[in-house]
Amino acid sequence: MTAVWWIRRDMRLADNGALVSAAARGAVVPLFVWEDNLLAAAGEIRRAFVFEALRSLDSATGGRLVYRVGPAVDALPEFCRLVGADSVHITEDFAPWGRARDRRVERALSGAGVELVRADTPYAIAPGTVRKDDGTPLRVFTPFYKRWLTHEWRSHPDADVGFADHGDLSVGPRGPGGWSAVSPQPASEAAAWDRFESWSERALGAYKQDRNSPALDGTSMLSAHLKFGIIHPRQLLQRLDASAGADHFRSEIAWREFYADVLFHLPHTTWQNLQPKMDSMRLDTDAAAEARFDRFCRGETGYPIVDAGIRQMLGSGWMHNRVRMIVASFLVKDLHLPWQWGARFFMERLVDADIASNNHGWQWTAGTGTDAAPYFRVFNPVSQGQKFDPTGEYVRRWVPELAEVDTKHIHEPWTLGVFAPADYPAPMVDHAVERDEALARYKAVTGK
């Protein structure tokens, strides 16, 4: 019998439960369905990454990958009829939109006599698994992490896969077509492993320290590969020992799982505050606020570390994690804009855009999410820059107007007065003033 491997966020052959499950039923047809929101919500750089990942998957399956056009609820039943398949095998999607889609697809397939098999998850421990003793989910990372560590995960052995040859059944885009986008990072399974091997050998030992320095190549940069399942977290966990660096990397993986778990239990927190009391926070949303947001999105705030981060994202589809926090804090606490604006911007521009990690990361910064963050935690873009990019190398790399500024002034070029680079903007707000404003607004929420 023919079995469809419906590929979504499991673009790999190794340790793939959906593929193993499909192969156990017969000849496998690897299928990718273009859905509107996949292309519409993604910027050009992420599309390029996805196309490269799919191209390499196609070549890894001997050119058998089939593309169809969504919506999936129509495409799947039709395709199963076309190839005579009676089962569709997937890696489960735990995000709100994906879950709803899969339920609809399951009903449609069932009506056509086709079984939808949820055979794997994108996480080492499936969302919904880690619980307190009373069965309720956790909302604080550290206790979650302690329990998460006690759960077991199991790898899938390499399957003996026979890919079905039905000729060319593809419909829809198979590449970037008209535009000339180049993937910002190598997107194949082999490339992901090359990266992990070389990075872990070189940088894992100093990970705890170096992961905070955006000028260094200190982080794994595997976020996009994890997001699309080119690499699976349990494959990484398997390769981590008990060293300090490995411990820290493991907890970063666990953060990803924690936020997926939080969103699984509280799907409305995708775009709504996890803490309802924060709904009364006063925010700026008028036309002037929109103008400030536009300037922020261009990377022209006048704060070098902020602009460097935004331009790194615009230019490469990725932003260093430390800088994501600085940039997010600036939007929320210096510009007083809704965190949702920033989250949407990141979702569009990041190759690794993951709804759970992204939006709950933003909620963390905004103080609206898990961890009742101390209200006084306001990042100072100058001191953060001086602390984590002490040489200014990162800023100079992404903000060429500042390339010639000396290290002493690189994070506050306005202090050069008339000698400040004329083509770099003055700070759009005064951080000290906006810090006080943010503290006052937070105070108003808690009712002092």
Partner DNA sequence: TTTTGAGTTGTTCGA
Partner DNA sequence: GTCGAACAACTCAAA
Give contact residues for DNA (rule: CB under 7 A): 132-133, 136-144, 146-147, 212, 252, 255, 275, 277, 321-322, 325, 361, 364, 370-380, 383-384, 387, 432, 435, 442, 446-448
Distance of closest approach, residue 142 Cβ to DNA, in angstroms: 3
Cβ density class 217-243: b for 16+ within 10 Å, e for less:
ebbbbbbbbbbbbbbbbbbbbeebeee
Between 316 and 321, name the residue whose CB sits nearer to DNA.
321
Count other C-beta atoms under 10 Å from residue 297's C-beta: 18
Distance of closest approach, residue 84 Cβ to DNA, in angstroms: 47
Between 23 and 281, name the residue whose CB sits nearer to DNA.
281
Between 21 and 357, name the residue whose CB sits nearer to DNA.
357
Measure the CA angle with vertex 374, ends 368 and 377; round to 5°.
95
Count other C-beta atoms under 10 Å from residue 8's C-beta: 22
Residue 203 to residue 154: CA distance in whole angstroms: 27
Distance of closest approach, residue 52 Cβ to DNA, in angstroms: 28
Amino acid at 382: V
Distance of closest approach, residue 367 Cβ to DNA, in angstroms: 8
Residue 17 to residue 366: CA distance in whole angstroms: 37
Measure the CA angle with vertex 361, ends 196 and 376; round to 5°.
125
Count other C-beta atoms under 10 Å from residue 7's C-beta: 26
Distance of closest approach, residue 138 Cβ to DNA, in angstroms: 3
Between 86 and 252, name the residue whose CB sits nearer to DNA.
252
Distance of closest approach, residue 169 Cβ to DNA, in angstroms: 43
Between 142 and 209, name the residue whose CB sits nearer to DNA.
142
Between 328 and 428, name the residue whose CB sits nearer to DNA.
328
Is the Cβ–Cβ distance between 258 and 145 less than 8 Å?
yes
Is the Cβ–Cβ distance between 252 and 145 less than 8 Å?
no
